[in-house]
A and B are shown apart, each in its own frame.
Chain A
Amino acid sequence: MRLAEKVVPFYFGAPDKLLFGCYHEPTLERCRKCAVVVCQPMGHEYINSHRALRQLAARLCDAGFPVLRFDYYGCGDSSGSREDGTILQWLEDISTAISEVRSRTAVVQVCLIGLRLGGTLAMNAAAERADLESMVLWDPVLSGKGYLHGLLRLQKEMLRFRPKPSTTQQPQGYLDVLGFPLSRFLRAELEKIDLLPIAGSLAKNVLVIQSDQTAGEANLKERLSQTEARLEYQRFDAPQIWRPTSDGSLLVPSQILHSIVSWTNRVHP
């Protein structure tokens, strides 16, 4: 499939906290009245899922949606160091990205798509704003404690076939999670994450994509069904693309991408 897309890389936001973004611009005759903002995950999950989310953006753009993918402060190509990231800052970054895509496209309706921690942040941002048209939560992190536990287990697994770093080599004040520093502050913020009690309306339409067996999944479904949102829930037997693979390949779950694009098409005809 040959996708006719125009990708514009650029920096935006406050001069002291500039964010890197890639704007996927659809052709004028196909442009829809809803823009999409992609909320990426964090750390190694961001690196591993970049390819899939870029593909998703290309497919949505081909369907006529203006799409903005962006890096949070201290992540990817954005300004700031890896140690600077906080949940509060990243929520602000999502707001900045929404404002940016609105001013670029002159489109008011916005759909947030978030993977893993990006889904969690998208849900928090949506609850604060209450002006979003639609939202896709792709394997969102439901419990911060469970998420941290998983990261630490993976870190241990990764150390299996390599010389173990001595305790003097451990960075001061940071936890090493697959080459990304996790500050005490961010760790404390992550530990507090619990998606279930989030109050307020999220978006008019919500799609939940689940490919990971997560505790609390049923609760999330119940919680979302209590909101005014039209909820669709889809389960896939697909690989967890955010996890490192044994051969270093980056996975693109075509079935999930196809499903997200068709749902977005249906919700925003």
Chain B
Amino acid sequence: MREEAVLFGETKSLVGILTDPPMRNGNRAKPAVILLNPGIVHRVAPGRIYVRMARALAAMGFVVLRFDFSGIGDSAVRYDNLPFDKSAVKETQDAMRFLEAARGVSRFILLGGCSGARISLQTACCDPRVVCAFLINLQMTEDVDQNSITRSAAFYYWNFALFNLKSWCKLITGKADYRNILRALGFQARTQFASGGKMSAESIQLAANLRMLAERGASVTFLYAESDPRLNDLREAVGRELKQLRALGNVRVQIIPRSDHTFSSLHDQEKLLKEICELIDAVTPATAGAPLDQRHDQLPQSVQQTLPQHGGK
């Protein structure tokens, strides 16, 4: 495996790391994987998970590029006043053009967490070179002020604490944070009442996009951490449609049990990594060969022991 620091884009100011498989030109039939910034965190991602992901996927034979959008991480700021959602899609297409020229790849898998998931989906919708998108904890609506914390708390109380004996003991013995519980439950009730069970414009658009991608033959996989409240957003947004969409065969929803939004424990990261390696292996038939668990060099744990070569001096 070889890692190389690269500069690309219109003004050669987007910074990325290109990870090549051990046999660089071994399999051009495989799509390349592009990892998109999770929110405003730079391309290493929380827990260094993108670095591990890139190395694991390269060990499976994929060319992988992780890079920073303009104004994030090491990439320079744009001065054309393009809104983020437009510039990010444009820059993802720049990344595809760069990989086409540098590695002769013409099909792409996009993977992103949080806002990176949104950009993956938007790019997939407008660019047929994208054959597959992995959307990790896709955010349907923007949280304002303290909402994200209250939402997390409400989601935790409803989905986990309610079924936990220790949490009940705390409640009964007066050790619980009653104010926080009331605030969280009130928030949950308000948001459910406000939606009224109707589909929002964003939900209708999402369902239409998923249908369009499924018809084009592109696969979309939603990956959600079980304790991420955004999972509820997806259920509320396209829950009814999801069954039909899944039946079309190209839309999947995977839930990583007991994980949180940033996969902030080592165990969560290991589960996410394993899930992604298996899913990418399953949706890219060109890579089919021996079962994943028989290829020991492709398993996440062993990737840590694989010493990459580096370039870009």
Residues of A contacting B155 in the complex (Cβ-Cβ under 8 angstroms) = 161
Binding stretch for chain B, among A3-11, A229-237, A260-268: A3-11
Instruction: Classify chain B: how many residues form its interface, as a range.
Output: 35 or more
The reply to whether B17 and A77 contact each other, CB–CB distance below 8 Å, is: yes
Contact of B39 among A169, A180, A248 (CB under 8 A): A248
Taken residue by residue from 1 to 27, chain A's Cβ proximity to chain B (1 for < 8 Å, 0 otherwise) reads as 010010111111001101010100000
The answer on a CB contact under 8 Å between B143 and A247 is yes
A-contact 0/1 string along B290-307, CB 8 Å cutoff:
000000000000001101
Q: Are A163 and B76 in contact (CB under 8 A)?
A: no
Report the bound CA distance from A97 to B81 in whole Å.
36
Instruction: Tell me which residues from 222 to 275 in chain B have a Cβ below 8 Å from any Cβ of chain A.
Output: 226-227, 258-260, 262-269
Size of the A side of the interface (Cβ < 8 Å), in residues, is 45
- B156 partner residues in chain A, CB cutoff 8 A: 161-163
User: A176 touching B40 by the CB < 8 A rule?
Assistant: no
Does B74 sit within 8 A of A, measured CB to CB? yes
**Could you give, for residues 5-44 of chain B, a 1 whenever the CB lies within 8 Å of some chain A CB and a 0 otherwise?**
1110000010101000000000000000000000111111
Q: Does B47 contact A (CB under 8 A)?
A: yes
**Distance in angstroms between the alpha carbons of A18 and B149 in the assembled complex:** 39
A18, B1: Cα distance in complex, Å? 13
Is A16 in contact with B307, judged by CB distance below 8 angstroms? Answer: yes
CA A16 – CA B308 in complex, angstroms?
9
A-B CB contacts (within 8 Å), total count: 132
B264 touches A9 (CB 8 A): no
Can you list, as one digit per residue, whether each of B46-69 has a CB less than 8 Å from chain A (1) or not (0)? 111101100000000000000000
C-alpha gap A248/B143 in the complex (Å): 11
> Any chain A CB within 8 A of the CB of B287?
no
Shortest Cβ distance from residue A170 to the other chain B in the assembled complex, whole angstroms = 7
Contact A11 B312 (CB under 8 A): yes
Among A47, A83, A178, contact of B41 (Cβ-Cβ < 8 Å): A47
Write out the residue numbers on chain A whose beta carbons fall within 8 Å of the beta carbon of B311: 11
Most buried by A among B43, B227, B262, B311: B262
A158 within 8 A of B: yes
B227 and A247 form a contact (CB under 8 A): no
Please state if B42 and A163 are interface contacts (CB–CB under 8 Å).
no
| Among A47, A75, A161, contact of B153 (Cβ-Cβ < 8 Å) | A161
> Would you call A181 an interface residue if the criterion is a C-beta within 8 Å of the partner chain's C-beta atoms?
yes
B160 interface residue per 8 A CB criterion: yes
Asked whether A50 and B73 contact (CB < 8 A) given A176-B265, A246-B146, A249-B40, the answer is yes
CB distance from B118 to the nearest CB of A (A): 15
- Are the C-beta atoms of B304 and A10 separated by less than 8 Å? no
Q: How far is the CA of A7 from the CA of B309 in the complex (A)?
A: 22
Q: List, in ascending order, chain A residues with CB within 8 A of B79's CB.
A: 2
Instruction: Given the known inter-chain contacts A161-B156, A179-B46, please indicate yes or no for A10 contacting B266, CB distance below 8 A.
Output: no
Which has the most chain B C-beta neighbours within 10 Å: A80, A163, A249?
A163
Q: Provide the residues of chain A in CB contact with B304, threshold 8 Å.
A: 81-83
Contacts of A83 in B (CB 8 A): 304
Contact between chains at A7 and B13 (CB < 8 Å): yes
How close is A217's CB to chain B, nearest CB, in angstroms?
30
B40 pairs with A51, CB closer than 8 A: yes
Interface centre among A2, A10, A54, A77 (most CB of B within 10 A): A77
Cβ–Cβ < 8 Å partners of B200 in chain A: none
Q: Does A79 contact B (CB under 8 A)?
A: yes
Q: Is the CB of A170 within 8 A of B3?
A: no
Q: Are A81 and B313 in contact (CB under 8 A)?
A: no
B231 to chain A, nearest CB (A): 13
By CB atoms of chain A within 10 A, which of B47, B114, B152, B259 has the most? B47
Instruction: Decide if B73 touches A54 in the complex (CB within 8 Å).
Output: yes
A82 and B52 CA atoms in complex are apart in Å by: 9
Q: Is the CB of A179 within 8 A of B160?
A: no
Cα distance, A11 to B304, chains bound together (Å): 19
A165 and B73 contacting across the interface, CB-CB below 8 Å = no
CB-nearest residue of chain B to A158: B264
Q: Tell yes or no: A250 within 8 A of B by CB.
A: yes
- Encoded as 1 (CB less than 8 Å from any B CB) or 0, chain A from 157 to 181 comes to 0100111010001110010101111
Query: Taking the nearest CB of chain B, how far is it from the CB of A210, in angstroms?
Result: 26
Cβ A5 vs Cβ B47 within 8 A: no
A176-B266 in contact given A82-B48, A246-B149, A249-B40 (Cβ < 8 Å) = yes
Q: Are A22 and B148 in contact (CB-based, < 8 A)?
A: no
Q: Does A253 contact B (CB under 8 A)?
A: no
Q: Give Cα A76–Cα B44 distance, bound, in whole angstroms.
A: 6
Q: Name which residue of chain B comes closest to A50, CB basis.
A: B42
Would you call B3 and A5 a contact (CB within 8 A)?
A: no
Q: Decide yes or no whether A102 CB sits under 8 A from chain B.
A: no
Residues on A lying within 8 angstroms of B by beta carbon are 2, 5, 7-12, 15-16, 18, 20, 22, 44, 47, 50-51, 54, 75-77, 79-83, 158, 161-163, 165, 169-171, 174, 176, 178-181, 246-250
17 contacting pairs across A/B (C-beta < 8 A): A2-B79, A9-B15, A9-B17, A11-B312, A47-B42, A47-B44, A50-B42, A77-B44, A83-B304, A161-B156, A162-B160, A162-B264, A165-B267, A169-B267, A174-B266, A176-B265, A246-B149
User: 4 nearest interchain CB pairs?
Assistant: A179-B47, A81-B304, A9-B5, A11-B310
